[in-house]
Amino acid sequence: MDITSIVGPVLAMGMIITAMIMEGGNPLHELELTAGMIVFGGTLGALMVAYPLPDMIGAFKALGIYLKNPAANPSQIMAEILDCAQTARKESILALEKKRDTLSYEPLKMAIGLAVDGTAPEVIRDTLETAAHVVFEEAEVSVKFWEDFGAICPTIGILGAVLGLQHVMTVLDQPEKIGPGIGVAFVATLYGVGAANIVGIPVGKKLKRKAIIDGHARAMVVIGVEGILTGMNPKIIEQKLAVFVHDHGGGEEKH
């Protein structure tokens, strides 16, 4: 579990609510069903116009990626590649067959399988690079969805505020309703700005970062397997892969 994905929104909301209470406000006054319907219903409808249904479903499924640590652990991937390189150097490429099922990263497992089957290095590279490109492009759709969520929400919130103020204009002859009416109107803006800056934009940024980490891991596989097939010294392979290995704030997701 990526702890920052949980702690971040909770901390943000907690600090906002705490500050509101310290200033004498009542968080329950911010619960407005109509404002929620306008902001979240309107935003969802706008996103339906922009994205096909499968893309929307994929974007919500991507929240699972947002909540988990990156599946690609560069340090572990490098260790497994070097282990395979040592085995291939001492024995043969065919000896890697018994190691394939023990590998943790699926693209590496696939690449080793192709190598064992005698696939040419350039074919393996093309296959891996094509898969990496497609996976990154699909991840970008989810990134853009949540970024667009963050861009649309505040605008719909302003629309909700305008509608609320428009209603206030109809009760100008009842002063006791003007203040509460204006307060309710601005709740829609609060929902829109809050959802955009605590959920939409941050989720998009984290999904993009995790897609980049996965792209780096796939590049490691290409370099590593190509080195193994060309008989490159494992020490040289290690030097090439070392540039990818640094702390990403989390390892492989534990099951």
Cβ proximity of 92 and 206 under 8 Å: no
Is residue 16 assigned to a domain? Answer: no
| Distance in angstroms (rounded) separating the CA atoms of residues 185 and 237 | 62
Is residue 250 assigned to a domain? Answer: no
Is residue 89 assigned to a domain? Answer: yes
Predicted local confidence at residue 191, as pLDDT? 93
Can you tell me the mean pLDDT for 124-144? 93
Residue 5 has phi, psi (to 5 degrees) of: -70, -25
Name residues whose C-beta falls within 8 Å of residue 190's C-beta, 6 or more positions apart in sequence.
30, 35, 157
Query: In the predicted model, is pLDDT for residue 180 greater than 80?
Result: no
Is residue 237 assigned to a domain? Answer: yes
Predicted local confidence at residue 131, as pLDDT? 92
Query: In the predicted model, is pLDDT for residue 123 greater than 60?
Result: yes
| Confidence bin at 97 (pLDDT 50/70/90) | confident
| Confidence bin at 249 (pLDDT 50/70/90) | very low
Is residue 234 assigned to a domain? Answer: yes
Query: In the predicted model, is pLDDT for residue 88 greater than 50?
Result: yes
Of residues 27 and 65, the one with the higher pLDDT is 65
Range of the domain at 184: 34-242
Report the chain's mean pLDDT, rounded to a whole number: 87
pLDDT digits (tens, 9 = 90+) for 52-61: 999 999 999 9
Q: How far is CA 199 from the centre of its chain?
A: 12
Residues written for the chain: 255
Is residue 20 assigned to a domain? Answer: no
When divided into structural domains, the chain yields a total of: 1
Query: In the predicted model, is pLDDT for residue 250 greater than 50?
Result: no
Is residue 15 assigned to a domain? Answer: no
Query: In the predicted model, is pLDDT for residue 48 greater than 70?
Result: yes
Cβ proximity of 158 and 245 under 8 Å: no
- Residue 15, Cβ neighbours under 10 Å: how many? 10
What pTM was computed for the model? 0.81
What distances in angstroms separate CA 186 from CA 78, 91, 156, 200, one per listed residue?
53, 71, 12, 20
| Confidence bin at 248 (pLDDT 50/70/90) | very low
| Confidence bin at 247 (pLDDT 50/70/90) | low
Is residue 180 assigned to a domain? Answer: yes
